[in-house]
Every structure is written in structure tokens, then in C-alpha cells.
Amino acid sequence: MFPQDASLNGHRIDELFWLACELTAPAFVIVVAVLAISVVRFRAREGRRASYTKGDSPRALGLTLGLVLVVFVGIDVNLAWHDAHAFHELFEKPPAPDQALRIRVLAEQFLWSFRYAGADGQFDTADDPTMTGEVHIPTGKPVIFELRSRDVIHSFCLPNMRVKQDALPGMTTYLYTEATVPGRYEIMCAQLCGFGHYAMRGTLVVETPEQFDQWMRERNHEFGVARAE
């Protein structure tokens, strides 16, 4: 059901989903069972009268409170707790900038542009490799995507990394991820941005560190040479 997981922490999302299923399925089964049993067993029949209970007895209230407690602890707190941990791992641990690969992402109607720091390690200098549509990252290294939009709100969605983040005009948002499986994956736009929203596709190319270094060297050369000329 899930797309291929090519990331370090993405499995936490899948696990959360299945946990949520495990917690909610019994509730659903109970509801359906009671509905099904009731319409058969308690169908109106000649000579049988419904029981006259109002549910305001101490026993009923006790049962209700018990149910609330089970729901709160067993489902709410349980799920929220696990989720908070997963969220922390995926979104609240920004890698140290010097240990991560920083990539600037510019979203606009209807394409994704990417900018690397270049050989000098600084953004907004003339040697920054830039490209549209396709971005390369290595496995085993944390990546910081710095997101911005040139026009309306877009959303940088990496289904195989199990993450997404909105890209807004006038402010920068951040997305952290780390890939583990080389391959070509799709980038999707996950916020309605106009008529071409459905076609705002990009490619996330995950390479081995060696392949990536080679690719980065070539790009740096290409853009460094351009500056020199």
C-alpha cells in the first residue's frame, strides 16, 4: 500500500499508521457488531417491549467514565505519544549545518528549482549550481531543504521519504530528511497552486555517496567555469 520507503526515518510513519489502525479497528468492529446484533436480536417483535433504561444510573455513568478512560489512555495518549516521538525524529532534529547537505528549493508555478552552495560553500554566489526539475542527494547524509516560493503557496512532497513541507512566499521553511536507498523518486506538489498544480512534478535522484560526489564535482565545475568565463 505504501510507496517504497527510501529514507532513514520514514518507517516511523508506516508504523504509526499501523498502530493507529490497530487502535481504531477494535472500536470500529465493536460498533459494527453492536449494530448488526441489535438489528437482528432487538428487532421489534409482537409481544416484546423495549427495556426502559435511561442510562443515568451510577452504573451507567461508571461504565461511561471507564470507556472515556480507556479511549483517552489506550487510544489518544498512546497514539499521540508515539506520534510525538516520530515527529521529533523526523522534524525536530535539524542536522548541524556543517554536517548536512543544504539545498535551496524554489517553488513556482509550475516547477521546482534547486540551488546548491557550490564549491565555495556559500549560497547566492555566482558558482551556485542551479537546476530545475531534478535534484540529487546522497544516501547516508542528512539533507536540509530550504523552501521558498516565488508566487503562491506550494508544498514540497517526497512520498518516498514520507515527508512534505509547504513552501511559502516571503518566508523560508525547512525540511530535513536522510535517504537510504538509491533510486529515482518523484517529487509532488501537495498544495493547490493553480491550474498546473497536477503537473508540478519533480525528480529526487538518490545516489550512493560516490556517485553523488562525482555528480556534485561535475556540477561545481560546470558552474564554476561559467563564473570564470
Partner 1 sequence: MSEPTSFLRRYVFSTDHKVIGKQYLFTGLFFLLVAGLFAILIRWQIAHPFQPMPVLGHLLSSDSHGVVIPTEYSKLFTMHGSLMVFFAVTPILIGAFGNFIIPLQIGARDMSFPVLNMLSYWVYALGSVAVLSVFFVSGGAASAGWTAYAPLSSSVKITPGFGQTIWIVAIAFSGTSTLLGAINYIATILNERCPGMDLMRMPLTTWGFFYTSILNLLWVPLIAAALFMLVLDRTVGTSFFTAGPLAPRGGGQPLLYQHLFWGFGHPEVYILILPIWGLLGDLLATFSRKPAFGYRATVISMGVIVAVSQVVWGHHMYTAGMNPILGKTFMFLTVSISMPTAIFFFNWLATIWGGAIQLKTPMLFALGVVFVFALGGLTGLFNAVQALDVYIHDTTFVVGHFHYTLAASVFFGMLAGIYFWFPKMFGRALDERLGKVHFAISFLALNGVFAPMMVMGVGGALRRLADPSHYELLRKFSTWNQVAWWSAFALLGGQLVFAYNFVRTLASRPTNVQNPWNATTLEWATSSPPPHENFPAIPVVCRGPYEYSSPAVADRDFIAQNEPALEGASA
Separation CA 153–CA 168 (nearest Å): 5
| Closer of 139 and 149 to partner 1 (Cβ) | 149
Among 62, 71, 125, 225, binds partner 1 (CB under 8 A): 71
Is 60 near partner 1 (CB under 8 A)?
Answer: yes
Per-residue contact string for residues 143-182; x = within reach of partner 1 by CB under 8 A: -----xxxxxx-x-x-x--xxxxx-xxxx-x---------
**CB contact set of 23 (below 8 Å; sequence gap of 6+):** 74, 75, 78, 79
Q: Which range binds partner 1 by CB under 8 A, 46-54, 128-136, 205-213, 214-222? A: 46-54
Residues 106/115, Cβ–Cβ less than 8 Å: yes
Q: Are 84 and 189 in contact (CB under 8 A)?
A: no
Nearer CB in complex with partner 1: 77/225: 77
Instruction: Write the CB contacts of 183 (distance below 8 Å, at least 6 apart in sequence).
Output: 4, 6, 160, 206
The C-alpha cell that represents 209 in the structure block: 555517496
Residue 99 beta carbon to partner 1: minimum distance, rounded to whole angstroms = 21
Range 113-132, binding partner 1 (CB under 8 A): none
Is residue 160 within 8 Å of 5, Cβ to Cβ? yes
Residue 83 lies near partner 1 (rule: CB under 8 A): yes
Q: Which of 144, 190, 204, 216 binds partner 1 (CB under 8 A)?
A: 190
Where in 85-114 is the site for partner 1 (CB under 8 A)? 86-87, 90-92, 109
Residue count at the site for partner 1 (CB under 8 A)?
85
Min separation Cβ 190 and partner 1, Å: 4
Taken in order 14, 17, 23, 24, the sign of the CA dihedral is: negative
Positions in 7-36 near partner 1 (CB under 8 A)? 12-13, 16-17, 20, 23-24, 27-28, 31-32, 34-35
| Nearer to partner 1 (CB atom), residue 196 or residue 209 | 196
Q: Round to whole Å and give the CA distance between 34 and 38.
A: 6
Nearest-5° angle of CA 227, CA 168, CA 89? Answer: 95
